[in-house]
Amino acid sequence: MIVCVCHRVSHHDIEREVRHGCASFEELQDELRVATACGRCGDCARDTFDAARACRPTAAESLAAKVARVIPIAPIAPATLAA
């Protein structure tokens, strides 16, 4: 969905910026120029930004996903304990 017609910014563009670490709406505006011309998209852009931030994985989840891709974890065979 196009959020900002003036600068052709879609909700995917906003979500991508959030995934890449965009921390504030002002930073988003610096990157994409969303809501910096006529301003009619401001509420929708802010709602989309807030929703993307709310759904963003935590730092721990992001790190766990990266580590799982880099270090394949082999299945562990059960060990028997000798008496």
Binding site for ligand FES (CB under 6 A): 4-7, 34-41
| Residue closer to ligand FES (CB basis): 2 or 23 | 2
Is residue 14 a contact partner of residue 51, using CB atoms and an 8 Å limit? no
| Residue closer to ligand FES (CB basis): 5 or 68 | 5
| Residue closer to ligand FES (CB basis): 38 or 65 | 38
Q: Residue 44 CB, nearest distance to ligand FES (Å)?
A: 9
Calpha distance 44→73 (Å, rounded)? 42
Q: Mention every residue, 6+ apart, whose C-beta is less than 8 A from residue 18.
A: 28, 49, 52, 53, 56
